């Protein structure tokens, strides 16, 4: 892959990652509630989900999902329902500003699982990647190698962007010492998750 093509893709991938979405909401919410260190598991989970999408696109399955109204709808509604469920859980979250180490360890696993599912059940991501990758792949060269370069670049950039969102939110969270304020923040992000679910439900293939 030519360096200028790769640099053009880097710019595109940065814009893609910076765009507001359920992953962004998840990263900011986790940063505020749990801090950067505990949120690393969620960032990893988001990248696992994204990596699976990239592999599906590489295997040609992504194109089938993008072209199949039924497959798109099934994934879309599962994803929308999951985001709404997360929103309801966030609304009901009564988490204290201090938690035990055991709770933190368990939460890390839950945060990762939730993040994987958030990305995995977003069919719009598959459709976007199916449309995007061919623009940067030279059919005359080794396509598998080019796909690997694009995939790794996408995951690394998205991880850095999500880490940035999480770190900024974590810094803001340090100034929050009122559980009443944290409860309001949880409700705000709960509403945002529900909103993301509604947007996903209205998406068309």
Q: Place 97 in a pLDDT band, splitting at 50, 70 and 90.
A: very low
pTM (2 decimals)?
Answer: 0.77
Q: Which residue, chain included where needed, has tokens 């991501």?
A: 125
Mean pLDDT for all residues in the chain: 81
Q: What is the pLDDT of residues 130-184, one digit of tens each?
A: 888 888 888 788 888 888 999 999 999 999 999 999 999 998 877 665 666 667 7
Model confidence at 63: pLDDT above 70: no
Specify the length of the chain in residues: 205
Lowest-pLDDT range of 53-62, 113-122, 188-197: 188-197
Output 40 or 74, whichever has higher pLDDT.
40
pLDDT in tens, 14-30: 988 888 788 888 999 89
**Residue 21 CB coordination number (10 Å):** 19
Q: Are 62 and 71 in contact (CB under 8 A)?
A: no
**What letter would DSSP give residue 147?**
H
Dihedral Cα 63, 64, 65, 67, nearest 10 deg: 80
| Highest mean pLDDT: which range of 102-111, 120-129, 180-189 | 120-129
How far from each other are the two terminal CA atoms of the chain, in whole angstroms? 30
Q: Using CB atoms within 10 A of its CB, is residue 187 exposed (0-12), middle (13-18) or buried (19+)?
A: middle
User: From residue 26, how far is each of 16, 63, 138, 180, 186 by CA, in Å?
Assistant: 16, 27, 35, 21, 11
Gyration radius of the chain's alpha carbons: 18
The mean per-residue pLDDT over the stretch 52-59 comes to 89
Average pLDDT for 36-64? 88
Range of lowest pLDDT (6-10, 74-78, 84-88, 105-109)? 105-109
* Alpha-carbon span 105 to 192, nearest angstrom: 26
158, 51 Cβ separation under 8 angstroms: no
Q: Two tokens at 203?
A: 């998406």
Taking the CA atoms of 107, 109, 110 and 114 in sequence, report the sign of the dihedral they define: positive
| Of 200 and 158, more confident | 158
pLDDT for the residue 114? 92
The two tokens of residue 14 are 């940065």
d(CA 167, CA 15): 19
> Considering the chain, what percentage of its residues have pLDDT values greater than 90?
25
Give residue 89's pLDDT band: very low, low, confident or very high (50, 70, 90): confident
């Amino acid at each position: 892959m030519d360096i200028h093509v790769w640099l053009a893709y880097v710019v595109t991938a940065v814009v893609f990652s910076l765009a507001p979405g359920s992953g962004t909401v998840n990263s900011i919410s986790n940063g505020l509630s749990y801090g950067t260190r505990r949120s690393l598991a969620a960032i990893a989970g988001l990248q696992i989900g994204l990596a699976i999408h990239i592999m599906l696109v590489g295997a040609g399955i992504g194109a089938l999902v993008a072209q199949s109204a039924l497959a798109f709808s099934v994934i879309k509604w599962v994803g929308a329902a999951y985001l709404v469920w997360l929103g309801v859980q966030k609304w009901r979250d009564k988490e204290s500003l201090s938690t035990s180490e055991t709770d933190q360890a368990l939460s890390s696993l839950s945060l990762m699982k939730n993040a994987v599912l958030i990305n995995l059940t977003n069919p719009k991501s598959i459709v976007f990647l199916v449309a995007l990758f061919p623009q940067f792949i030279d059919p005359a060269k080794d396509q598998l190698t080019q796909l690997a370069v694009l995939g790794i670049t996408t995951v690394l950039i998205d991880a850095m962007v999500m880490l940035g969102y999480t770190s900024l939110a974590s810094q803001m969270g340090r100034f929050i010492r009122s559980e009443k304020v944290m409860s309001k923040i949880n409700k705000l992000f709960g509403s945002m998750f529900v909103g993301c679910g509604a947007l996903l439900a209205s998406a068309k293939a």
